Structure 1
Amino acid sequence: MQRNIIDELSWRGLIKNKVTGIENIEKPITMYIGFDPTSDSLHLGSLVPIIILIHFQKMGHKSLILIGGATGFIGDPSGKENSRIFLSQEILKKNTESIKNQILKLLKFFSEKTEFLNNFDWIQNISFLEFIRDIGKYFTVNYMISKENVKKRIKNKDKKNGISFTEFSYSLIQGYDFLYLKKMKNCLLQIGGSDQWGNITTGIELIRKKTGEKAYGLTFPLITKPNGIKFGKSEKEENIWLDKRKTSPYKFYQFLINISDSEIEKYIKIYTFYSKKKTIQLIIQHRKNPDRRFLQKKLAYEIIQWIHGNKISEEIMKITDILFYKKYEYLRFLNEETFFSIYNHIPHMILPFEKFKKGIFLIDLLKISGFFYSKSEANRAIQANSIFLNKIQVKENILLKKNNVIGNKYILLQFGKKEFFIIKIE
């Protein structure tokens, strides 16, 4: 059984590192993945460990999800150039509940087979002296600084952004979690992103030294943004969040259908549960005419449906078709329900009728809407023939009146090929 799950994850590209010997385990085991509540939402990268968890559950294994109420209080230095900003216990508690609810929704049919734990429940009971005596004694400073993430931070020439003792201790606390779960839940396997390999092996080493028993670790490749930076809950840069209040389903869908052809075959293996045979068939079909973005649309539909439900995924597909492929004549015949759906899913604003009844110049509307920061910037876009009004290219700063309104109260703006903004007049 274990060999089957390793084979399954391997062809999907879901294994980066693994401890030797894991392939030889034949009986169902208990595994765990952890999430630090450094944000109130998971993101696109967070889906990967959940997908791996589901693969394990499908093959009869038991899973634990650890919410790091204690480790989140400290902050993992893995993959970080600078120190984390510490969060209050109140915020961490709120984030923990939010993340747990998101995961329960994602697991659907597997939620009853998953046990949720919070490491704050056992870490809070350990005194500092107990920890450094009973756990710290098993690891030399040389061992700790040999970890790649620690070495990288120590080499940072900016003294303000060196690694703190707090962050330095993170790996030991995560290692203790693994030891605790091994004792209390007979957990044999920890799974995490490739940047967690050092933390995972610390736990494996602690279990070996403390109990003389074997434990295992497995990591998956990190999903990165187009700029090469990983998706992360505490990253300052924009993420693709699962919470629709932070990333709209429309924006999420657009990100997915714009995945490059060089990446999409990797993503379709990682983010879907299609069989190997079905996946190969889809890839072959895509390669015949990659310009149609068949795989991208397939992936986008599957993920949006999983996260936001069938109704929203159908709405997003319809809206995308209208915005990108339909002409002005088609817009004229859309009903109020469709316009309202478009309004809900793309950037928008309400324009009071009082400001519109005498007419408003396009350049002013572009500035008021926030589509552009200044009138000069908006004017340059008009001069470059980059602005479309209700799907019609505009070449000058026209005065918008009632005849420019569609659906009785909507004005659709477009900049270039992909940026849209809708204004509702009321």
Structure 2
Amino acid sequence: MQTRFAEDRLARDPLLRQANDILRTCVHCGFCTATCPTFVLLGDELDSPRGRIYLLKDMLERDTPASASVVKHIDRCLTCLSCVTTCPSGVDYMHLLDQGRAHIERTYNRPRGERLVRGILAAVVPHTGRFRLAMLAGWLTAPVARWMPGRLGALAGMATRRPALRAPTDRARVIPAQGPARMRVALMRNCVQPALDPEIDAAAIRLLTRHGCEVVLADGQGCCGAVVQHMGREEAARAFARANVRAWTQAGVDRVVITVSGCGTTVKDYGHMLAGEPDIAAEAQAISAKTVDVTELLSELGLREPVADPGLTVAYHAACSLQHGQQVKTAPKALLEAAGFRVVSPRDPHLCCGSAGTYSITQPGLSRQLRARKLETLGALEADVVAAGNIGCLNHLREGKGAPRGRPMVHTVQLLDWATGGPRPRGLESQ
């Protein structure tokens, strides 16, 4: 793609030089349109990666304030990164999109209702305690929330069940390995998982210690920064990243283990996010290099011999942040098969379920359409249980009206924990 950035601007701004390089990589081939969930739904070129790239190019090149039209199409992007997997030219769409969203945040005055919803999300979701209170409020007001329109209704209905008030990751501590320690790892404490489903973290701790890992819940670790990063609040995202890098560096760990794939994509990018900060850039790069999804680490360590044959068929839902953002595609399914499960995949596994962090709240209509599509493809499978590696996907799919009846939805680590000696996951009692 030909670009016309002013030379003096490129000389002054390294991020703009990066955007210029990314744009020049695009060859207009259009392969990305076939795998973009919003283009598949809407059929609008501006709601495809190629269309958004043109919008971002024009906005950044001319250095003009974002227009309402540009914001509409950029906001509709799920950041699923399916286009990154598809692109034959290696266009770094994620970092170009980050720059575009930051520009929008700086230059566009959103309508009051949007500002309110986005402000609440940024203030609540990255903090577990606040999120628990929000869940409790949602649970208490569920009958009213059902009738609220649009984004406010989606926000009020964010959690319509009682939150878990305790989780094994609530306090900083070190859990020793079972037997000789093979590795010292930090388990990242996600913001919402302790309130939505603390059994995932409990299963991860059991699974890791059983495989010889000393598990550190590091003091000072907080939100990964993805929520605010995707809203264009780049300084807030970098603040979260700096705190986490310092916490894990001080903990002296061999790996940073992630059970929420949306967080994993962001943490693996800390080296890039903090590259312009000399006092912490090297540490951020080191942390990014140490960060792994839990299934990557278990593949490295080797799964223990299963204690029993579960004899169940698992429908595996590949979270976008895992298969596209981190390019982790085979490890989860291979581990499940090694644990004795039969694994099946739905049609169009590359398409997003519509969760995408806070997308289900900021774009509720599109999100529901994508969820209905995903639930239909999962429901068509003859499976006993649905597994995924991201709490956002699991929670979003569980709330869908078309959720397959009698098929529990659990995290991959819960099945692996059960197969290697842990308790049967909740919801599988009759299986």
Query: Is TM > 0.5 for Structure 1 vs Structure 2?
Result: no
- Scaled by the length of structure 1, what TM-score is found? 0.26
Q: Which has the larger radius of gyration?
A: 1
- Scaled by the length of structure 2, what TM-score is found? 0.26
